[in-house]
């Protein structure tokens, strides 16, 4: 019975702590929602892809409340202030008050936008995360980062706003396409790389079972990922130190996503190529052994993820896009690099000429 494998983790942030429920058959359980809804008004935010699949299940679990819905277009290219405004319009038209609760039913885009709407509406209301992609379940739904994109940079407009709870139901992954599943596994691999070499080894042994959607393997991978993120966020909620390690691969990856046009490369695909590039740069500094770089590239390739950037981007475009990234600090670019699998570091003392060498070599391999 799958329900016997269900897990609950807790992210400890004092009076803003919250549970992360992981398992099968969670969406329809009213008892998982009610402790976290203070008023009578609930606004479910979803998108055109997810709503036909799961909206009624969630709505029926919330039948004791006044439930309204807003359905957004599906895709990273719609993660904008303009589309965000549709959530505010719906809340105002239905006269939602400060005790209302928003429910994010969808992937990372829906979660980020709903969270930002919750952070902003009447200066802050509650929200619940129901992530329906693997990437959202292991990463974006946990930790309170919310926001939208700008044409010049990804996630540059947003707020820290923690959810009241997270419901990660693995049954929603049954309707996820293979490309999106692989993109989510990229973030799972990231946790092994930043601080858990043993988990990375487990992934090398079991990634084929994850790709085959083995429920037991998925629950374990989601639990390990969420526990790692919860521990890091509890220690450094607003990214003044250790939380920056969670950005491994993201500075390169965000440059790819922005440069190629939002939605053309999935977030996890950009992160995968970014982690491979970070490994290459780490090895050029003689920090990481070449054998670790090969293990990383091999696992990403087995997961059907890219390990090199798109040839359409030049070195200068990369550098310009990376300079806009949130992780740039006082005019300098801060990167997350590695000493070994399972040991990442925040680096602003890397050799820029070696960064150029990484960009040039990886881009030349893909045709630039």
Residues 164 and 208 in one domain: no
The catalytic residue among 6, 59, 247, 362 is 247
Structural domain boundaries enclosing 77: 2-175
Looking at residue 368, its pLDDT comes to 43
Task: Judge whether 326 counts as a catalytic residue.
Answer: no
Single residue among 175, 203, 225 that ends a domain in this structure:
175
Single residue among 175, 195, 215 that ends a domain in this structure:
175
Task: Judge whether 145 counts as a catalytic residue.
Answer: yes
Q: Distances in Å between the alpha carbon of 176 and those of 133, 188, 200, 260, 308?
A: 7, 16, 24, 23, 24
Q: Distances in Å between the alpha carbon of 41 and those of 69, 119, 268?
A: 11, 16, 34
What are the 10-residue block averages of pLDDT along the chain, 368 residues in total? 77 93 96 97 98 98 98 96 98 98 97 98 98 96 95 92 97 96 98 97 98 96 95 91 94 94 94 98 97 98 97 92 73 90 94 94 66
Residues 151 and 217 in one domain: no
Task: Judge whether 356 counts as a catalytic residue.
Answer: no
Residues 326 and 250: their CA atoms lie apart, in Å, by 10
> Torsion over CA of 106, 107, 108 and 110, rounded to 10 degrees?
-30
Residues 212 and 348 in one domain: yes
User: For residue 34, what is the domain's CATH number?
Assistant: 3.40.50.1970
Residues 134 and 198 in one domain: no
Residues 63 and 164 in one domain: yes
Task: Judge whether 285 counts as a catalytic residue.
Answer: no
The catalytic residue among 76, 239, 257, 269 is 239
Task: Judge whether 254 counts as a catalytic residue.
Answer: yes
The catalytic residue among 6, 59, 76, 145 is 145
Residues 132 and 247 in one domain: no
The catalytic residue among 224, 254, 284, 297 is 254
User: For residue 301, what is the domain's CATH number?
Assistant: 1.20.1090.10
Looking at residue 236, its pLDDT comes to 92
Task: Judge whether 267 counts as a catalytic residue.
Answer: yes
Reduce the DSSP state of residue 336 to 3 states and report it: strand
Task: Judge whether 123 counts as a catalytic residue.
Answer: yes
pTM for this entry: 0.93
Single residue among 130, 156, 175 that ends a domain in this structure:
175
Looking at residue 5, its pLDDT comes to 84
Residues 356 and 209 in one domain: yes
Residues 7 and 116 in one domain: yes
**Run of H or E residues at 273:** helix 267-284
Task: State the total domains in the chain.
Answer: 2
- Residue 331 has what DSSP assignment? T
Residues 309 and 237 in one domain: yes
Residues 19 and 163 in one domain: yes
Task: Judge whether 79 counts as a catalytic residue.
Answer: no
């Amino acid at each position: 019975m799958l329900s016997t494998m269900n897990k609950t983790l807790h992210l400890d942030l004092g009076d803003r702590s919250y549970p992360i429920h992981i398992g099968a058959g969670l969406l329809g359980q009213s008892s998982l929602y009610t402790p976290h809804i203070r008023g009578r008004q609930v606004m479910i935010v979803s998108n055109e892809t997810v709503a036909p699949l799961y909206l009624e299940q969630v709505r029926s679990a919330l039948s004791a409340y006044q439930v309204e819905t807003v359905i957004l277009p599906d895709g990273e290219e719609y993660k904008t202030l303009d589309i965000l405004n549709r959530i505010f319009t719906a809340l105002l038209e239905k006269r939602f008050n400060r005790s209302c609760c928003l429910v994010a039913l969808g992937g990372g885009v829906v979660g980020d936008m709903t969270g930002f709407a919750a952070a902003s509406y009447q200066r802050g209301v509650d929200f619940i995360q129901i992530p329906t992609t693997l990437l959202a379940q292991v990463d974006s739904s946990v930790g309170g980062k919310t926001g939208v994109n700008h044409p010049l940079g990804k996630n540059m407009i947003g707020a820290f706003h923690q959810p009241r709870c997270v419901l990660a139901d693995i049954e929603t992954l049954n309707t996820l396409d293979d490309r999106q599943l692989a993109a989510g596994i990229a973030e799972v691999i990231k946790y092994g790389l930043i601080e858990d070499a043993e988990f990375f080894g487990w992934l090398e042994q079991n990634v084929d079972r994850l790709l085959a959607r083995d429920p037991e393997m998925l629950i374990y991978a989601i639990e390990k990922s969420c526990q790692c993120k919860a521990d890091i966020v509890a220690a450094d909620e607003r990214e003044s130190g250790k939380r920056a390690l969670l950005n491994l691969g993201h500075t390169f990856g965000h440059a790819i996503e922005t440069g190629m046009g939002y939605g053309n490369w999935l977030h996890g695909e950009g992160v995968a190529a970014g982690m491979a590039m970070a490994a290459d740069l780490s090895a050029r500094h003689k920090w990481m052994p070449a054998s670790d770089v090969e293990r990383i590239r091999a696992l990403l390739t087995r997961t059907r993820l890219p390990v090199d950037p798109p040839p359409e981007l030049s070195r200068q475009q990369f550098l310009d896009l990376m300079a806009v990234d949130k992780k740039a600090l006082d005019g300098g670019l801060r990167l997350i690099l590695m000493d070994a699998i399972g040991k990442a570091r925040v680096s602003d003392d890397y050799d820029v000429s070696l960064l150029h060498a990484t960009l040039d070599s990886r881009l030349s391999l893909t045709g630039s």
